[in-house]
Chain A
Amino acid sequence: MNYFAGIDVGSTAIKVALVDEQGQLAGVHVTASGSLFHKNSTEALNTLLNKLGLHRDDVRYLIATGYGRKLFKEADDSISEITANAAGAFETGKAYGGVRTIINIGGQDSKAIRIDPTGNVENFAMNDKCAAGTGRFLDVAARNLELDLEELGDYHFQGDKAPLNINSTCTVFAESEIIGLLANGHGKSEIIAGIHYSIASRTVRLAKRVGVEDRVYFDGGPALNKGLVAAIQDELGRELLVPDYPQTTTAFGAAILARNDYLEENAG
């Protein structure tokens, strides 16, 4: 059996996805990027292969994407995370009646992508050169509040006070703002809701820049945070389509593209 791999070497996590010849997802694996990008990428791929009882030789074509795509030399090709993300969301979205707009929040950037009905990228926008409104922002906030990242989502829905305004867009300044709010005796839940709304409004502005069409797909690690999902839905005035594995959409897209490239090259 032939398999095709997509490996998304992100700033925070490495994501691997494997698809079969029909383009069906065979499995995914996520691991922290750490400092040894190359070693950790190779290990992540091997872990997934072991889990599925496969060998490296079963993988016919491998496409790397993400921040560290150029560093993973074993790949057959590399592609930007925007194209890979669009391919993954388009494929996943088919089951839900199609997707035209994608919001992705990653560890160090956030983007909005608009695709045409055939899945080709029509327009996209990325945040500017800082960590405002990205996963890193949630990381920093969780640390200030002495919570685990996973707990933020639940806190969003607790308490009965309105979300507080977090005015600073800069992650570092927002950190001191959060400390100030805590010092003034504000509760964690209204601070957390405020943080989510602050990210949500930035993200929605980004999405509006590319033009919001039809169903909006939301992926990337922070899409696991239900509170953030609720805040973005509220700001956007639309429901979001959040996949089962929001972290691996881009790796899945790269795997799909690897399969298509392989079949195209071996068609004759």
Chain B
Amino acid sequence: MENEIHQVIPIQPAPYSRSRQAGEAQTVLDHIVDDFEENPAAMQYFYDLFRQVYCHGDEIPHSGKLVGTTCIQAPEELIYAFGATPVRLCNGSYHYDQRGADFMPAKSCSLVKATLGMLSSDNVIPKIGKPDLVVNPSTCDQKKKSSVMIEGMGYQVYDLEFPNVKESEASRVYWRRSVREFASELRKLTGKRLTRANLKAAMAMTGRAQAAFRALHNFRRQTPSLILGKDAFLVTNAYFFDDISRWTVAVEKLNAELAERQAAGFRAVQSKAPRVVFTGSPPIFPNLKLPLLIEEAGGVVVADETCSANRMLYDMTAVDEWLLNDMVDSLADKYLKPCTCPIFTRNDDRKRRLLDLVDQFKADGVIYQAFSGCQVYEMEYRSVAEEFNKAGIPMLYIETDYSPDDQGQLSTRIEAFLESLKNRKKRRA
């Protein structure tokens, strides 16, 4: 009798598709797809991809060793050159954010907490398997302190040393050496050698992907817009984990459709829809909260200055001499010189780039997102705001995190901001 009472009833683990994180992804994806009209047909590839990976938990096959990166400062061309596959681990799930709260103080960045939460779970999203190596560039403090914790979860972690001062020659030399050390780490991991031919091939592959991104970026200059920002963010988010060649083809198809839209005089938004440049903490699926609120309220995100999109893909490598040493140096420079990350002591390039984007994309205003606890973005707001005040460009600063409970308040603030942009335009006309 007693045995019967103490019997443990075996519980079958629920399939991934019934997990909370799958539900979260499903809700956001349905919203992105169903609540907006006339989505580009070529977006179907990306909608299906996210459904497959985030909602069903299907694995994407990859070749060679799998190298997880926690930041865009890890040169992916090197990873490809060694026959390995990079996957960006930065996570946007509120579910994992809550889980990751065990590792970090309460007032920490949602992105870092969510990434830790995901890595500590059985379901490493995107499901392309457990990384053989996690590369953690020493950028912001919260990421720096994550290394030890990720190691504690049973991963092999490599600290990629990254300088804090961008302009100095010492930083440049230091960073070039750091990239070389990263290459020898990859050599140990893969047992392969870095050659001029395989690095050149890797650079050509990312170069083609970047060219496709640039073309997409340029289509967004069109007034009225041809595509919404929520779709553009989904495209660049897919770059985190998708097979790079497949991704490039899909973006090229999307670009072809946008060219048709342009020729047909198609408009994705009303002609008076306020045009917004998005900057600050990166929107990462499923946390597309702010871009979606902006576009639900009748605005359109025409360009961005974030590390989940523009900053990740815009700047190309400029090689002088196609010799291995020069190629590695040029590659290192690409990851340091154009970078507009707020971890640097001074960051005038970011202000210049933002002003440039507003000008080129005929934007009416800027929305600045800072994740609560992301100190560098919070602190840099002041100097960016001063610059924009001087230039007479309206900017809305929003401090938020992954939790959905401030959506009501945020929608009021965003609507009011868009209304004021519309009024400004009316008065100027």
Residues of B377-429 contacting chain A, CB below 8 A: 394, 405-406, 408-409, 412-413, 415-416, 419-420, 423-424, 427
A129 and B420 within 8 A (CB): no
With known contacts A118-B427, A120-B427, A83–B420 Cβ distance under 8 A: yes
Which of these, B412, B419, B424, contacts A126 with CB under 8 Å?
B412
Q: Is A91 interfacial (CB-CB < 8 Å)?
A: no
B416 and A124 within 8 A (CB): yes
CB proximity of A89 to chain B, nearest CB, Å: 14
Q: Is A121 interfacial (CB-CB < 8 Å)?
A: yes
A129 and B427 within 8 A (CB): no
Provide the bound-state CA to CA distance between A159 and B292, in Å. 53
Q: Is A190 interfacial (CB-CB < 8 Å)?
A: no
A121 and B420 within 8 A (CB): yes
B424 and A120 within 8 A (CB): yes
CB proximity of A114 to chain B, nearest CB, Å: 11
Provide the bound-state CA to CA distance between A82 and B419, in Å. 9
Residues of B141-186 contacting chain A, CB below 8 A: none
Residues of A85-124 contacting chain B, CB below 8 A: 109, 118, 120-122, 124
> Who on chain B is nearest to A83 by CB?
B419
B412 and A80 within 8 A (CB): yes
> Who on chain B is nearest to A124 by CB?
B416
With known contacts A118-B427, A120-B427, A126–B420 Cβ distance under 8 A: no
Provide the bound-state CA to CA distance between A102 and B423, in Å. 18
Q: Is A219 interfacial (CB-CB < 8 Å)?
A: no
Contacts of B419 in A (CB 8 A): 79-80, 82-83, 121
Contacts of B405 in A (CB 8 A): 129
With known contacts A109-B409, A129-B409, A121–B427 Cβ distance under 8 A: no
Contacts of B415 in A (CB 8 A): 79-80, 82-83
Contacts of A121 in B (CB 8 A): 416, 419-420, 423
Interface centre among B394, B408, B415 (most CB of A within 10 A): B415
Contacts of A128 in B (CB 8 A): 406
Q: Is A81 interfacial (CB-CB < 8 Å)?
A: yes
CB proximity of A14 to chain B, nearest CB, Å: 17
A80 and B416 within 8 A (CB): yes
A82 and B413 within 8 A (CB): yes
A82 and B412 within 8 A (CB): yes
Provide the bound-state CA to CA distance between A128 and B405, in Å. 11
With known contacts A109-B409, A129-B406, A129-B409, A83–B427 Cβ distance under 8 A: no
Provide the bound-state CA to CA distance between A82 and B424, in Å. 15
CB proximity of A206 to chain B, nearest CB, Å: 13
Interface size class of A (residues with CB under 8 A): 10 to 19
Contacts of A80 in B (CB 8 A): 412-413, 415-416, 419
A81 and B420 within 8 A (CB): no
Contacts of B409 in A (CB 8 A): 109, 126, 129
CB proximity of B278 to chain A, nearest CB, Å: 19
CB proximity of B423 to chain A, nearest CB, Å: 5
Interface centre among B405, B413, B420 (most CB of A within 10 A): B420
Q: Hey, what's the 0/1 contact readout for B289-301 against A, CB within 8 Å counting as 1?
A: 0000000000000
Contacts of B412 in A (CB 8 A): 67, 80-82, 126
Contacts of B427 in A (CB 8 A): 118, 120
Provide the bound-state CA to CA distance between A67 and B407, in Å. 12
CB proximity of A82 to chain B, nearest CB, Å: 3
Contacts of A118 in B (CB 8 A): 427
Provide the bound-state CA to CA distance between A128 and B398, in Å. 10
Provide the bound-state CA to CA distance between A129 and B413, in Å. 12
Provide the bound-state CA to CA distance between A110 and B392, in Å. 26
Contacts of A109 in B (CB 8 A): 409
A120 and B416 within 8 A (CB): no
> Who on chain B is nearest to A81 by CB?
B412
A82 and B406 within 8 A (CB): no
With known contacts A109-B409, A129-B405, A82–B416 Cβ distance under 8 A: yes
> Who on chain A is nearest to B407 by CB?
A129
Provide the bound-state CA to CA distance between A248 and B107, in Å. 38
Provide the bound-state CA to CA distance between A260 and B413, in Å. 23
Provide the bound-state CA to CA distance between A79 and B411, in Å. 11
Contacts of A129 in B (CB 8 A): 405-406, 409
Which of these, B394, B406, B408, B416, contacts A83 with CB under 8 Å?
B416
Provide the bound-state CA to CA distance between A118 and B409, in Å. 26
> Who on chain A is nearest to B406 by CB?
A129
Contacts of A67 in B (CB 8 A): 408, 412
Which of these, B406, B408, B420, contacts A120 with CB under 8 Å?
B420
Contact sample, A vs B, 29 pairs, CB 8 Å cutoff: A67-B408, A67-B412, A79-B415, A79-B419, A80-B413, A80-B416, A80-B419, A82-B412, A83-B415, A83-B419, A83-B420, A83-B423, A109-B409, A118-B427, A120-B420, A120-B423, A120-B424, A120-B427, A121-B419, A121-B423, A122-B394, A122-B420, A124-B416, A126-B412, A126-B413, A128-B406, A129-B405, A129-B406, A129-B409
**Which residues does B use to contact A, with CB under 8 Å?**
394, 405-406, 408-409, 412-413, 415-416, 419-420, 423-424, 427
The 4 closest A-B pairs by CB, nearest first: A82-B416, A80-B415, A121-B420, A80-B416
New contact pairs (15) apart from A67-B408, A120-B424, CB-CB < 8 Å: A67-B412, A80-B412, A80-B415, A80-B416, A81-B416, A82-B412, A82-B415, A82-B416, A82-B419, A83-B419, A118-B427, A120-B420, A122-B394, A124-B413, A126-B409
